[in-house]
Amino acid sequence: MTLAANPLDTLGQPLKRKEDPRFITGTGRYLDDITLPGMTHLVVLRSPYAHARIRSINTSVAKTMPGVVAVYTGADTAEVNPLPCAWAAGGVENHLDTPRILTPDVARWTGDAVAAVVAETRAQAVDAAAAIDVDYEPLPVVVNAEEALKPGAPQLHENAPSNIEAQWSCGDAAGTAQAIGSAEVVVRQRIVNQRLIPNPMETRGSIGSFDAGTGEYTVWMTSQAPHVMRLLITAFVLGIPEHKMRCISPDVGGGFGSKIFLYHDMPLVAWISKQLGRPVKFVETRSENYQATTHGRDHITDIEVAGSRDGVITGLRVKTIANMGAYLSTIAPGIPTTLYGRLLSGAYRFPNIFCEVTNVYTNTAMVDAYRGAGRPEATYVVERAIDLFADEIGMDPAEVRRRNFIPPDAFPYDPKVLTGPTGLTLKYDSGNYAPALDRALEMAGYADQATAKAEAASRGKLLGFGLSSYIEICGVAPSKWIGLPGEGWGAGLWESANIRVHLTGKVVVTTGSQNHGQGHETTMAQIVGARLGIPVEDVLVEHSDTSGTPFGYGTYGSRSGAVGGIAAYNAAEKVRDKAKRLAAHMLEANPEDMEYDDGTAFVRGSPDRAKTIAEIALAASVGYDLPAGMEPFLDETAYYDPPNCTYPFGTHVAMVEVDRETGHVDLVRYIGVDDVGKKINPLVVDGQLHGGIAQGVGQALWEGAVYDDSGQLLSGTMMDYALPRASRLPSFELDETVTPSPVNPLGIKGAGEAGTIGSAAAVVNAVVDALSDFGIRHIDMPLTDQTVWRAMRVAEAGGAGGDVRGAAEGRA
Amino acid sequence: MSEEGATVEVAVVVNGTPRTVAVEPRKLLVQLLRDDLGLTGTHIGCDTSQCGACTVHVDGQAVKSCAVLAVQVDGSAVTTIEGIGSEGALHPLQDAFWTNHGLQCGFCTPGMIMCAADLLARDPDPDEPTVRHAIEGNVCRCTGYHNIVRSVMAAAAAMRDAEAGTSQPTATAQPSAS
Amino acid sequence: MIPAAFSYTRPASLAEALSLLAGASDGTKVINGGQSLLPLLKLRVAEVDRLIDIGRLGELQGIRPGADGGLVIGGAVPYTAVLASPLVAERCPLLAETIADIGDVQVRNRGTLGGSVAHADPASDLPAAMLALDASFVTRSSAGERVVAADGFFHGAFETDLRPDELLMELRIPGLAAGTGTAYRRLAQPASGYSLVGVAAVVRTDAGRVVDARVGITGVGEVAYRARAVETALLGGSSVADAAAHAADGQVVASDIHADAEYRGAMAVVFTRRAIEAATVRAG
């Protein structure tokens, strides 16, 4: 650890996290660790059919079983509104269908909730749920989004003909068609971005408690956005006053997007707690999480990339079918539209881009944001397109990237697809893409790859190098850009913070952001502590409780630092201003002459005429002697709506070895050179990058949610859904470039999703490179042993195609 | 022990304290620890015994407490994350995870530490592949394992140093697997 | 996550255990380490009325030298104890190599060899090694003791020769003749860690010629099997590659989302070749 010249200026320092002592000693408090007096337990019966009409439900046996308190079905909850969808695809017609807290008539996927059993113990509730007799009339099922669009496909919702939720586009259709029509080279490829299961290690859950005396509800939830949940549960679902509910996220064991959303159990536990007058707890099992919590990705995309043989790309046309699942999750339509199409320029100066997206309902689990949320899908398209194009013209893919990079003098850069017909016009804030590429190539020994490949070949292995020069949109988002006038998000996306400096000089910061592993309790304290000159130890960060923290939109989209952190910064500026004014009064100085540094307000040029923040806080707290008109106490709140998103970037290089007999892929080295702007805490940032990389590698090589044709989830447990394991990953080799963001005063960009956004394409590009002798130009993820093996065998046989999973296309 | 009734008495020594609890035979060790003894540091992350979040030590060996019935540990000694160290008297693994940022959301951390403690009791000087192999039954979704591996190796070094007498080991600065 | 209710008995003696089993109902199941059984019960894929816990019976413990230079391993000995045993390392490195990657360390601490053999999961590793080693299993009921060869013990997926009233007392592994090499090679399913293909090879050579060969394969067919066509070809002088091509002969090759029958069959061939090659090198 390098120490700052000023120990109070901890910005940029790799501090150990303040929240860790409770986690390493087993004294963290996650949702399932909470037990309330008189608490009951809820177990949800879910449809075993992916599509079925519910003819009848017989709960009579279940109701008489030991410990059973109540059993509810959709008929009992008919008064409760469906869950809202908060983000319709912007600027186009949407056919919105959202789930109810218990489905009353038709089950549309195997996670659809049919009945709720409440018992004294969880075991009793499980036993009783097994005794509920439901008479189902199975209906035709469709799980593949492309199949769902075909004439005659089973229809999920009456108001969504052809199962289309929305059709959305961005970019320049005519210009792109012209570019493709006149191009020297056009490469076309279908690529599938498979469905993933987010897999936070803590499954989801909720606890409802109703106080009949006050008429107030308390709902504990594993949520990334408790303030938003309170709004949605009260105003939209249950129709009760917003202020009559308190929502609390206790310690949350990861989310990766899947805990942003409103799920049926959250209003359900509140509703049940009022019915029963007793608290009720719901905690998913892992299999249930796989069935019923949101999935991610699931795109089928046809790409056309056009350009000239000198390596310059002139057009990119993308047509994507996005699987929404059986209903819309809270922000689902916005993910494959705004957060996908608007990133399709990547790090490149593509003069023409056009993207069409069709959001489709199928009899599968709902699909919504999963780490990166649209941006990994876009990056995968762009970075595969670059390699396909490079392969076609026989040019080094690193060189093609270099020739198409947006040059450093072009910033702020308008890639044209970033802004729709209305709303705030956004531009990439800052960037210098080539140095990160050069450094990554240097670390990988890319220039001497022939030697490395020959060495691997001597061991019978096929070595491949894969690049990904990603950018991402972080720090979401300016409300005017993403909100209804522009991109269709039904609210704003500013963030909040409050700072109180107490009488003893100790500080409490509250934030509207939500910490579920990102380290807010440390990094927010670093921002505030550094600005106020107060030791980090003396700054407590409170979050995730609607009682006591200002409204905020929560944590996702790499926004906690670049939006939430700036709110904290701005609140600290307000505290500094007030402290200076009060200190001037205490020192009988002119307020205009005051400065603030190192926790001290002093008269400019006379540093001995000074008051420490502790002295000022004491004076403000006791309030005996304040300047005329000044309110007591140092208590300041800031709401920060960013003027722009931030645009981190970097180049990742994956090096893989493929066993030509088995298809097994070994990730032997992984190099990442990331530019996330300035860092609040590099230890935390690197941790975010590591975890993100592992998730992208997981998608590239192992992970995939697989349904059979009847809508049964075949990858229904951890026995069949392959998560990255320690033994299958190398240590990651990271370096950085630093291009501060001009968007915010800290120059930070965001890092929570960068690793995931960059890594899947790097790994796939590496495997395709390793298989170049076979003439293989593309394989769909995950690149399992079988998939890679089959690609090689099909290519050897001179064929193309193959089965749907693991299809490989040989170059003709 | 032979019982046909609804509950069975189980006597276990948990973190050094003898406990006797009447349980249903179907109760898992993890449920005994969490629900009956209030030791919620041991977590449940899956239902197929794949994730390792529930790892504790039974008679000095790491086990997945979701794959052991409470009745099976009758007469045994169980050590949980709460028993290997505490704030102010951290086990070297706890300290190393903190120092090396070996955790993010913290949910897998207790199981990961208990699994690593089993390794270091058997192998005080593991190389990186050995560490990675040893923790393959523990899933972490946050860290990509990078800093977990660093943490375990750092703890191993610290424990070797303590063993060699270059620093004074505390009472808890030893693996519980003994 | 919560099994259906059952009763639990931990007999204090072997005699008590056998007497309980003698009159047991269909819903009675023996639990040894429980590492395979408990996950099934938790998902309610399996339900039982009563568990009889034999994990602590003294008669099922211990790793002892066999009179023929081999090993005798108690049915309730956990994997970890086998992996730590110098006797196993000396007399039967194939056993250690085979079980080194079963599950994970937590599973190996708790899971037992007898439990695995009796459970007979078609993807578990141990049966392949038992077949290649020509092991036999000692079973006992109140009616008496049987010694059953591994070859023939595994009837089908989760079905064995073990009778409902019997316990698997011990595994007997014969000693290896001089000039014998062994190897286990596997392809793991990335989620569960179970073997998509696992091949145990025991090869004895004399002056560079294969004079004895036994190959056990798991994960491929409905149950672990001896690849006799491979063995015959090897002894008949075929090249290892040619012999290995018969790895899945006569099998109904399994198919699932991780490996379809074509791929599994092909991998059976590759890993059979690799196991035999490695064993041959070790044979010297």
Give the pLDDT score at A479: 93
For residue C253, give the 3-state DSSP assignment. coil
Q: What is the mean pLDDT of residues A704-722?
A: 98
Choose one of B83, B114, B134: the last residue of a domain: B83
Task: Please give the DSSP secondary-structure letter assigned to residue A341.
Answer: H
Residues in B closer than 8 angstroms to C53, CB to CB, are 71-72
Q: Does B55 touch chain A (CB under 8 A)?
A: no
- Round the CA-based radius of gyration of chain B to a whole number and report it: 16
CATH entry 3.40.50.12780 includes domain C180-283: no
Number of domains observed in the structure of chain B: 2
In this complex, the chains that touch B, judged by 3 or more CB pairs closer than 8 A, are A, C
- Measured between beta carbons, the chain B residues lying within 8 angstroms of A687 are 101, 104, 142-143, 147
Q: Are C154 and C160 in contact (CB under 8 A)?
A: yes
Rg (alpha carbons) of chain C, rounded to whole number: 19
pLDDT value of position C40: 94
Same domain, B95 and B135: yes
Residues of chain B contacting residue A202, judged by C-beta atoms under 8 Å apart? 43, 45, 105, 107
Identify all chain C residues contacting B62, using CB atoms and an 8 Å cutoff.
105-106, 109
Give residue A5's pLDDT band: very low, low, confident or very high (50, 70, 90): low
Average pLDDT over residues A92-104: 97
CATH class of C7-53: alpha beta
Whether residues B90 and B157 share a domain: the answer is yes
Amino acid at C140: R
CB contact under 8 A, C257 and A720: yes
Nearest to C270 among A127, A662, A717 (CB): A662
Task: Tell me the β-bridge partners of A41.
Answer: A119, A281
CATH of the domain at B96: 1.10.150.120
Q: Where are the beta strands (DSSP E) in A78-119?
A: 106-107, 113-119
pLDDT tens-digit map of A772-794: 999 999 999 999 999 999 999 99
Q: Kind of pairing, strands A495-501 and A634-640? A: antiparallel
Among the partner residues C189, C258, C267, nearest to A662 by beta-carbon distance = C267
Distance from CA of B131 to the nearest CA of A (A): 8
- B77 contact A CB<8A: no
Domain-located, residue B177: no
Clarify whether residues B77 and B121 are in a common domain: no
Q: What is the CATH number of the domain that holds B21?
A: 3.10.20.30
Pairing relationship of beta strands C50-53 and C28-31 according to DSSP bridges: parallel
Instruction: Kindly tell me if the per-residue pLDDT of A800 is higher than 90.
Output: no
Structure tokens, A338: 């705004």
pLDDT-derived band at A807, boundaries 50, 70, 90: very low
| Per-residue confidence (pLDDT) for residue A799, from 0 to 100 | 65
B78 in a structural domain: yes
Query: What is the pLDDT at residue A422?
Result: 80
* Pair (B91, B157) in one structural domain: yes
Strand order in the sheet with A280-283: A68-73, A113-119, A40-46, A280-283, A205-211, A216-221, A245-248
Q: pLDDT by residue (tens digit) across A106-155?
A: 999 999 999 999 999 999 999 999 999 999 999 999 999 999 999 999 99
- Between CA A128 and CA A146 the distance in angstroms is 39
CB A457 within 8 A of CB A642: no
- The shortest C-alpha distance from C33 to chain B (Å) reads 8
| pLDDT for the residue C190 | 96
Q: Which residues of A744-754 are buried (b: 16+ CB within 10 A; e: fewer)?
A: bebbbbbbbbb
- Chain A residues with CB under 8 Å of B24 CB are 123
Based on the domain organization, do B76 and B132 belong to the same domain? no
pLDDT at B166: 65
Q: Where in A383-502 does DSSP place strands (E)?
A: 461-471, 495-501
Nearest Cβ partner for C5 among B26, B50, B137: B26
What residues of A are in contact with residue B51 (Cβ under 8 Å)?
201, 286, 718
Please check whether residues B95 and B127 belong to one and the same domain.
yes
Domains observed in chain A: 20-28+494-640 (3.30.365.10), 34-139+201-254+259-292 (3.90.1170.50), 371-476+645-810 (3.30.365.10)
Residues B76 and B119 reside in one and the same domain: no
Q: What's the DSSP call for residue A272?
A: H
- Whole-angstrom distance, CA of residue B35 vs CA of residue B44: 12
For residue A758, list chain B residues with Cβ-Cβ distance below 8 A: none
Structure-model confidence comparison of residues A558 and A810, the more confident one? A558
Q: How far apart are CA A759 and CA A469, in angstroms?
A: 10
Write down the H helix ranges in chain C. 14-22, 37-42, 79-83, 86-91, 93-99, 105-110, 113-119, 126-132, 228-235, 240-244, 261-283
Which residue, among A681, A727, A570, has the nearest Cα to A636 in the 3D structure? A570
Contact between B109 and B167 under an 8 Å Cβ cutoff? The reply is: no
Alpha-carbon distance of A21 to B119, in angstroms, equals 22
Phi-psi category of residue A348: left, alpha or beta, with phi > 0 → left and psi -120 to 50 → alpha: beta
- How does pLDDT run along chain C (284 residues), one tens digit per residue? 999 999 999 999 999 999 999 988 899 999 999 999 999 999 999 999 999 999 999 999 999 999 999 999 999 999 999 999 999 999 999 999 999 999 999 999 999 999 999 999 999 999 999 999 999 999 999 999 999 999 999 999 999 999 999 999 999 999 999 999 999 999 999 999 999 999 999 999 999 899 999 999 999 999 999 999 999 999 999 999 999 999 999 999 999 999 999 999 999 999 999 999 999 999 98
| Cβ-contact A409, A790 below 8 angstroms | no
Q: Mutation test of the interface with chain B: which of A25, A35, A370, choosing the one with the most B Cβ atoms within 10 A?
A: A25
**Sheet of strand C28-31: strand arrangement:** C7-9, C50-53, C28-31
Residue A2: Cβ within 10 Å count: 7
Are residue B98 and residue B79 in the same domain, yes or no?
no
User: Residue B104 domain-assigned?
Assistant: yes
Cβ-count burial A309-347 (b if 16+ within 10 Å, e if not): eebbbbbbbbbbbbbbbbbbbbbbbbbbbbbbbbbbbbb
**Cβ–Cβ below 8 Å for A715 and C191:** yes
Is residue A639's pLDDT more than 90? yes
Q: Is some CB atom of chain B closer than 8 A to the CB atom of C109? A: yes
Q: Which of A123, A717, A722 sits opposite C2 (nearest CB)?
A: A123
- H or E stretch at A134: strand A133-138
Are B66 and B111 found together in one domain? no
Give the span between the Cα atoms of A337 and A88, in whole angstroms: 10
Burial of A244-272, coded b for 16+ CB within 10 Å and e otherwise, reads ebbbbbbbbbbbbbbbbbbbbbbbbbbbb
- Minimum-distance CB partner of A786 among C43, C192, C259: C259
At residue A436, the 3 state secondary structure works out as: helix
Give the C-alpha separation, A196 to A199, whole Å: 9
Distance from C-alpha of C224 to C-alpha of B31, rounded to nearest angstrom: 36
Pairing of strands A280-283, A113-119: unpaired
Domain match, B24 and B78 both:
yes
What is the rounded CA–CA span in Å between residue A481 and residue A271?
36
Q: Over the stretch C121-142, which tens digit does the pLDDT of each residue have?
A: 999 999 999 999 999 999 999 9
Q: Which of C2, C47, C186, C194 to mutate to test the interface with A (most CBs of A within 10 A)?
A: C2
* B150: nearest CA partner in chain A: A731
* The pLDDT of residue A806 is above 50: no
**Mean pLDDT, contiguous 10-residue spans, chain B (178 residues):** 68 98 97 98 97 98 98 98 94 98 98 98 97 98 98 98 71 35
Alpha-carbon gap: B125 to the closest alpha carbon of chain C (Å): 17
Report chain B residues whose CB lies below 8 A from the CB of C102.
Answer: none
Please state, in angstroms and rounded to a whole number, the distance separating the CA atoms of residues A740 and A570: 18
Region for residue B60 given its phi and psi (left: phi exceeds 0; alpha: psi -120 to 50; beta: otherwise): left
Residue where one domain finishes, among candidates B21, B51, B83: B83
Among the partner-chain residues C4, C191, C260, the one whose CB lies closest to the CB of A786 is: C260
Residue among B1, B7, B49, B73 with most chain C CBs within 10 A, to mutate: B49
B145 contacts chain A (CB < 8 A): yes
- On the CB side of C85, how many CA atoms lie within 13 Å of its CA? 25
Domain boundary among the residues B83, B101, B120 is at B83
**Domain residue spans of chain C:** 7-53, 58-173, 180-283
B28 Cβ under 8 Å from any chain C Cβ = yes
pLDDT tens digit string along A584-598? 999 999 999 999 999
What are residue A301's DSSP bridge partners?
A: A191, A320
Domain membership flag for residue B96: yes
Same-domain pairing of B92 and B110: yes
What is the CATH number that goes with domain C58-173?
Answer: 3.30.465.10
Could you tell me which chain C residue has the CA closest to the CA of A721?
C191
Instruction: Determine the residue type at A129.
Output: A
Tell me what pLDDT residue B175 has.
Answer: 35
| List of chain A residues whose C-beta atoms are within 8 Å of the C-beta of residue B133 | 726-727
B137 domain-assigned: yes
Residue A558's pLDDT is what? Answer: 86
CB A665 within 8 A of CB A656: yes
A25 contacts B139? CB cut-off 8 A: no
Q: Kindly give, in sequence order, each residue whose CB lies less than 8 Å from that of residue A244, ignoring residues fewer than 6 positions away.
A: A215, A216, A217, A234
User: Given this model, what pLDDT does residue A810 score?
Assistant: 36
Is B90 in the same domain as B121?
yes
How far is the C-alpha of A750 from the C-alpha of A748, rounded, in Å? 6
Q: Which long-range contacts (CB under 8 A, 24 or more apart) does C255-259 make?
A: C257/A706, C257/A714, C257/A715, C257/A720, C258/A720, C258/A784, C258/A786, C258/C189, C258/C190, C258/C191, C258/C196, C259/A785, C259/A786, C259/C187, C259/C189, C259/C196, C259/C197
Short-list C33, C250, C48, CA closest to C124: C33
Neighbours of chain A (3+ CB pairs under 8 A): B, C
pLDDT attached to residue A801: 40
Between chains, do B48 and C42 touch, taking CB under 8 Å as contact?
yes
Domain that holds residue B33: 8-83
* pLDDT mean over A48-55: 98
Residue-wise DSSP of B104-141: SS-SSHHHHHHHHHHHHHH-SS--HHHHHHHTTTS--S
